[in-house]
Structure 1
């Protein structure tokens, strides 16, 4: 089994929760050539990691683009993969079994798979437990803690305060119920004993800068950080407070004490961030969550003298 294919297309939070399975697959196949099939947003992140020999970024061609689909099929078949670990386990990724070729052993949910994860309750499991059970069905029994030291960056250009907390006030714009209001984050930043560094994507710059303005010494880095910078900041921060969004998952995985806020749009029993020190606070609707409740929940992951008051 010289060539192994791993399929993980996205999104960021799901990709981060596959770090453990990635590490387990590499440990189980130490001498194999392991290829990850993913999408462009995660290709560089995967190439930095110690788990893959190659990363292919063309993992989500449009089905109507027959040229792209056939090109992917040719590349997959030419690689002669002996086994495929489909960690996406979607309808799309299951159909890739036909692109790879039916001779390959297949771990996933595709019909006819040699190592099919056929637990009827799989969708009720947290992503981490579901993937672990899937890999156990394929014969993997050793699950090392994924090392994260490979994901780091030079932060000298950011003029960071010597001591700080991270705030992640954004989330998917299509799911506003996943956001604790920006005014609440601003109130938190204003009363926090350490300056806050506010993270976000390019579309969240105005919101992040507004939060930072109300808190002396705080700083917005929205639109200025990639995955490596986020992980590096997480290692240096006292703690993080964020919505259920990809960067919060990455921060938690990097080891930062993290409180993740959930509303009714996602279920922490299925997708809560995992890491050495993570707490989850769910309130429906999230917009009605009071700052006092957040402060009390933070006490479970950070020292009392570092919570706002």
Structure 2
């Protein structure tokens, strides 16, 4: 019988991007299996574009006080008759899904009674990528091929981008303002670059883009104009990028764009910094006080290592 594998990843964009390597390793380890990803609705379409899954399911995350919603989820999970589950979320919620899936499936994760537990008491002190890799090693996976991200493509001709440009990612979660470098400093950085800056973000970041464009008239407003796959295509063509600790910065770095990631005290780059071929991290005790000159110097060091071809 063809093995039926379930992979669980329910978190934000940056967490999904940092699971690209584990996704690729799971597919390589189970080449003939039917693999389903359970994720949250915003990232389902991105996952469907990837080469790693036969099916992608959206999890509406029913409340534990919603018995009908939980029953519908459990019925769907049990009907699939999964033979193995890789819980890459390893949260209290995803661990409880072991009881929704049923006892017949092998389980890699931290759920009580898991057949392949990630039995490392220091796991929470590891970078996300190393933590997931060790979890998979404990489940018998030994080969970790670099994930091929050629599928992160899209037609970007309508964006009107110049041959050489930089990317700026001034947004981050509005609930965590300490993760944002002030937009006025992004504007000053953009004004001093030797190429136009393209500002990345969703519709909610249009005000940030407007402030940057006002200070750097050659800048380009891409807010609300790039889905995740198109952002990967844009990143492949950008000379370099500067961004806050937010999902798009992770995706840009993973796509191969030389990336400077700015961190404040709210998250630890040792645990969650973006990964990619050329990534530098600049951390400050308070991003609101991080001077433009420090970012310019860090960016110069990053660029000395080489920009993207054509950059």
Tell me which interval the TM-score lies in, with the shorter structure as reference length: over 0.9
**Structure 2, gaps ≥5 residues long:** none
- Residue 150 of structure 2: aligned partner: 149
Change (3 A) 1:59 1:5: farther
- Residue 46 of structure 2: aligned partner: 45
Kindly report which structure 2 residues correspond to 1:1-309, keeping only aligned pairs within 5 A, or say none: 2-58=3-59, 60-303=61-304
Instruction: Name the SS for the 1:301 alignment partner.
Output: helix
Distance 2:306 2:158 in 1: 29
What is the CA distance between 1:304 and its match in structure 2?
8.5
What is the CA distance between 1:299 and its match in structure 2?
2.4
1:81-118 Cα shifts (integer Å, max 9, x gaps): 11000000000000000000112110000011000001
**TM-score using structure 2 length:** 0.96
Aligned length, in residue pairs: 306
Distance 1:268 1:128 in 2: 12
1:58-79 Cα shifts (integer Å, max 9, x gaps): 2522222222211111111111
Distance 1:300 1:32 in 2: 45
What is the CA distance between 1:301 and its match in structure 2?
2.1
1:138-157 Cα shifts (integer Å, max 9, x gaps): 00010010011101111111
**TM-score using structure 1 length:** 0.97
What is the CA distance between 1:180 and its match in structure 2?
0.5
Distance 1:305 1:187 in 2: 23
Do the aligned residues in 2 keep the contact of 1:165 with 1:195 (CA within 8 Å)? yes
What is the CA distance between 1:296 and its match in structure 2?
1.5
Instruction: Name the SS for the 1:193 alignment partner.
Output: coil
Distance 2:306 2:216 in 1: 18
Do the aligned residues in 2 keep the contact of 1:10 with 1:42 (CA within 8 Å)? no
Change (3 A) 1:305 1:133: closer
Instruction: Name the SS for the 1:98 alignment partner.
Output: helix
1:245-275 Cα shifts (integer Å, max 9, x gaps): 0000000000000000000011000000000
Change (3 A) 1:36 1:305: closer
Do the aligned residues in 2 keep the contact of 1:209 with 1:219 (CA within 8 Å)? no
Q: Please, what is the CA RMSD of the aligned residues?
A: 1.3
What is the CA distance between 1:217 and its match in structure 2?
1.6
Distance 1:8 1:210 in 2: 35
Distance 1:165 1:60 in 2: 37
Instruction: Name the SS for the 2:79 alignment partner.
Output: helix
